[in-house]
Amino acid sequence: MTVYRHFVTILPALIATFLLSLPASPSTAAEISPGLHAALQHASPEQPLPIILILEAPEEVPDFVRQRGGKARASLARDLRARARAREAPVEAFLHRRGITQVQSLWLIDGLALRATPTQIAELQTLIEVRALHLDEPAEPPPVEASFAHFSPRWNITRVGAPQLWEQGYAGAGQVVAVIDTGVDLAHPLLGPRWRGGSNSWFDPFDGTSEPDDFAEGQGVAHGTAVTGVVVAGEGVGVAPAAQWIAARIFHPERATRSSHIISALQWTLDPDGDPVTDDAPAVVNGSWGINAQNSCNTVYRPAIQALKAAGIAVVFAAGNAGPQAATSESPANYAESYAVGATDSLNRIAGFSSRGPSACGGGIYPDVTAPGVSIVSTDLEGGFASVSGTSFAAPHVAGVMLLLRQAFPTAPVAEIEQALRAAAVDLGLSGPDNSFGHGLIDAPAAYDYLDFTPVPELLAPETDALVDAGEVTLAWRQKPDSFGAPVENRVLVALDADFAQPLEWVAATSAPGPERPTAAAGAAGAVLLAAGLAAAGGRRRLAMRVVPAILVAALLFACGGGGGGSDQDGNLGLVVVIEDGEAEQGGDENAEFFPTDDPQVRTLTLTGLTSGATYYWKVVAENARGSQRESEVRSFTLD
């Protein structure tokens, strides 16, 4: 009997060990994370373990979000909840039959948080509805590194160039950051007025409190309050003083934090008020924390980060304080979708504590960028201030600059803002990206210029003050792409005066090039028919024209980025010239100017029905996808 009882006692552990030894695949068993695997090895047979169960799904949450990219983010949250309920139902029924009734939905990652014994975990691993099982791991607030009072307490704000964008009118107005941390001291005079307020601006998964508060950690600093101050505090303390903040508590002064608390906070940011009609999600989420397991890739948070990014929310993480050794990255900062920030000091040296790369999730450059993180003066409890150090306080500099750029370029995708910060960063350390500084120290004005860059159109033909013999002329110019290699929209402006203020009576202004194009009826000052010649792939496009009292504006959007001339049969008329294999073929006037129409950046526009003896002025306006415009020089031509 004793042997039998002993066997019954160890049977669950034997079963669990056997199942854990099986190869994980969709047809056999769900994947067991390394953390859960280790916990199972040390757990007693009937000891409930906190776990996160990931459900099988035909499409993962980020893909689901991307396919609905046109929907409001709050509507996405509603759809994700509904999607999760359908998938969770059979698993929850199974759990209830096993006596497990305390189950939390983590719909942003297709997950459930619960407690289960090793025996129950072994059973869950065999369900076809289950894809993976993770330990619901404990987490702690990151340490605040030793600091000293800097002789210039606002040096960090100047270093990232924030005041230069303030002078241009970009201080973060209309933008919201979500700080996921210990909390925020609402009573601080530099933070209280910047809280968005209302029931959708604070999330407390522990006590359900209705307003933000904070507590001092072991180092005597209110971590979340100091982080928030670097992002939005006024009086030169924060990067984006006109922005607002919301916050979620993931660290409690007395209760343990687990991964499920953090994931529930991340999913709250997608729809803080729970109303699918309103879009109250933040522009940026700041996470100045990480899992204290260096050089590891814990993927439990990854679907949440991917989903937020797919929904257009930037996610910034502190790189960690495990330096100076190499290969000290931590999750979730080391995900490809996260934006990891290392720390520099006032001499632009990498902080000794700043975690180094490469990333344990894929081996890429880590961190992405660096920002000031040593001796940073920020807000603290009771209206006070503290000098703090750590990558925790480097990350909010990047979050703040992102808010400035989002205000300046409200239609810019998150990926473009991230790329602008990388490309415009000040290269420090080894030449090029490295695993200490990443791509370098962030530079807000340079990132602004990168996003704003629109190449000035280069006018090619006709030359200014040209005398044109024919009754038509082909305008040609070169338009380079923007910083991201994307095509730029052009508008061609034509007028009878150099100030583009002389009114003309335009009677006809719509057509595509072709042998049977409509003619223009003459107005008081003549009429002009415009046709765009696009030789790319031999294709033709119909142009929509707008008539303006003083100026004719032809809106030309070249999705392929170019267009050159062609013969009459190809739709180009008059002065069009084609250059092929070094041979020039002239279609029209023997005095036509030659321009390189084999260049995909060359664009043309043919004007016909012009008035003899008149002088016309023209210029080209370029506009990138973010609304930034540049104008070419003004040229003129006269019809003989």
| Catalytic positions | 181, 223, 392
**Nearest alpha-carbon partner for 176 in 261, 264, 92, 272:** 272
Q: In a 3-state reduction of DSSP, which class is residue 563?
A: coil
SS3 annotation, 242-274: CCEEEEEECCCCCCCEEHHHHHHHHHHHHCCCC
Contacts of 85 (CB under 8 A, 6+ apart): 105
Q: Angle at the Cα of 418 (from 327 to 404), degrees rounded to 5?
A: 125
H helix or E strand, kind and range, residue 86: helix 73-97
Measure the CA–CA gap between 553 and 417, rounded to whole angstroms: 31
Please state, in angstroms and as integers, the Cα–Cα distance from residue 464 to each residue in 80, 459, 500, 610, 633, following that order: 60, 9, 16, 17, 10
Measure the CA–CA gap between 427 and 425, rounded to whole angstroms: 6
Answer yes or no: are the C-beta atoms of 502 and 531 closer than 8 Å.
no
Q: In a 3-state reduction of DSSP, which class is residue 49?
A: strand
**Nearest alpha-carbon partner for 289 in 266, 313, 255:** 266
Structure tokens at 251: 């660290």
Residue burial 351-390, b: 16+ Cβ < 10 Å; e: rest:
bebbbbbbbbbeebbbbbbbbbbbbbbbbbbeeebbbbbb
Looking at the chain, how many residues does it have? Answer: 640
Answer yes or no: are the C-beta atoms of 109 and 308 closer than 8 Å.
no
Answer yes or no: are the C-beta atoms of 434 and 606 closer than 8 Å.
no
Burial class (CB in 10 A: 0-12, 13-18, 19+), 73: buried
Please state, in angstroms and as integers, the Cα–Cα distance from residue 250 to each residue in 54, 212, 214, following that order: 21, 12, 11
> Within the chain, how many helices (H) and strands (E) appear?
13, 29
Measure the CA–CA gap between 157 and 240, rounded to whole angstroms: 10
**Nearest alpha-carbon partner for 18 in 172, 162, 123, 142:** 123
